[in-house]
Amino acid sequence: MKQIIIIGCPGSGKTFFAKQLSEILQIELFHMDNIYWKKDKTHISREELVCTVDEIMSQSEWILDGNYVSTIEQRIKGADTIFLFDYTKKDCLEGVKSRIGVKRDDIPWIETKLDLDFEKWIVDFRKDTLPEIEKILEQYKYKKIIRFACRKDKEKYLIKLKKNVNKNITIHTTELNIELQDDQWQMEYIDHNRNIARAIVYDEDGNFYFVRAERNDDFGQATIIETAGGGVEEGERLQDAIKRELKEELGVKVDVICKIGVVSDYYNLIHRHNINNYFLCKVESFGEKELTEDEINNFHLSTLKLSYEEAIREYEYRSNTRLGKLIANRELPVLHRAKEIIDI
């Protein structure tokens, strides 16, 4: 949850919730009203609004608070999490009236009265505006959409989120840093390093996704299980590399939750030092894979969908070969740590 929009009827407490969310997650908050309106109550053009929102969304983390239906699909498309406030008309009108005469962070002036057109918009929100929003959300139902029907729903969510974030602080700030030697082949010399991005990929139901490869090369004949991933290209950021590799090998779009750590290991047989950067990634959606001819014809690369327990057993079973043992030694500690983070 790093790219967030908050939408729903005015007066439902979106802005206050947005401020609380920003403080808990330590993610910068942007108010749509502040972007659109000037202090003299004139406003920027729609084109300027779209450009400004695009600039914000180009950042890795952001919270955007506000409706503006004309640009709402732009924001829903770029968000990983959508909060929708669907309160009663009575609750929203009470909320709007309570803020008259109060200085607020989300608009550049103080409201002195309830505008009649604005009041009518609130009264008709569920009838006129909400169906438009729901129609757009239906196209992106694979995204994380959290709905609040009353203030109690919101408060319960914030209490739970605070507890989870506090628990996460320790484990997320302690990244793995493991160095392993190749105990299967004797070292003669190492002549190159390879910077690699890899991921433990999981879904909402607790399934994990790996690749299976059929190898018959210098390492011998073996069927292996391995995390999806590959070499980082020159000038490429690690997070961009892992998203690219996961799209290619698993056909999956992911939310990068955190970096698990680095495992340094060696393939003495090919004189290589591997620097494996591991990330924890959650599935957002599946699409087409983009496998190379070599991956299709020589490695017969396929996807494994396993429970945590099944994955452990598969790694242990495939460690009956020399290469399989090297991979299991490298990846099992990472899988254990990933499970700890997910279970928080």
CATH number at residue 81: 3.40.50.300
Q: In terms of domains, do 279 and 147 share one?
A: no
| pLDDT at residue 287, rounded to an integer | 93
Q: Which structural domain, as residue segments, surrounds residue 41?
A: 3-172
d(CA 326, CA 85): 50
Across all residues in the chain, what is the average pLDDT? 91
d(CA 201, CA 210): 7
Q: In terms of domains, do 72 and 188 share one?
A: no
Q: In terms of domains, do 72 and 20 share one?
A: yes
Confidence of residue 142 (pLDDT cuts 50, 70, 90): confident
* Chain center to CA of 14: 22
| pLDDT at residue 113, rounded to an integer | 84
| pLDDT at residue 67, rounded to an integer | 85
List the end-to-end C-alpha distance of the chain, in Å, as a whole number.
15
Q: In terms of domains, do 89 and 223 share one?
A: no
Which tens digit of pLDDT belongs to each residue from 320-342?
Answer: 999 999 999 999 999 999 998 88
Q: In terms of domains, do 105 and 223 share one?
A: no
Q: Are the CB atoms for 55 and 77 separated by under 8 Å?
A: no
* Chain center to CA of 32: 22
Confidence of residue 168 (pLDDT cuts 50, 70, 90): low
What's the total number of domains in the chain? 2
Q: In terms of domains, do 256 and 323 share one?
A: yes
Q: In terms of domains, do 159 and 284 share one?
A: no
Q: In terms of domains, do 211 and 81 share one?
A: no
pTM: 0.55
d(CA 176, CA 264): 11
Q: In terms of domains, do 96 and 227 share one?
A: no
d(CA 93, CA 84): 17
Q: In terms of domains, do 167 and 206 share one?
A: no
Q: How many other β-carbons are positioned within 10 Å of the β-carbon of residue 121? A: 15
d(CA 56, CA 27): 12
At 301, the amino acid letter reads L
d(CA 123, CA 27): 32
* Chain center to CA of 170: 20
Domain boundary among 123, 154, 172: 172
CATH number, residue 235: 3.90.79.10
Q: In terms of domains, do 143 and 188 share one?
A: no
**Would you say residue 166 has pLDDT above 70?**
no
Q: In terms of domains, do 183 and 168 share one?
A: no
**Would you say residue 240 has pLDDT above 80?**
yes
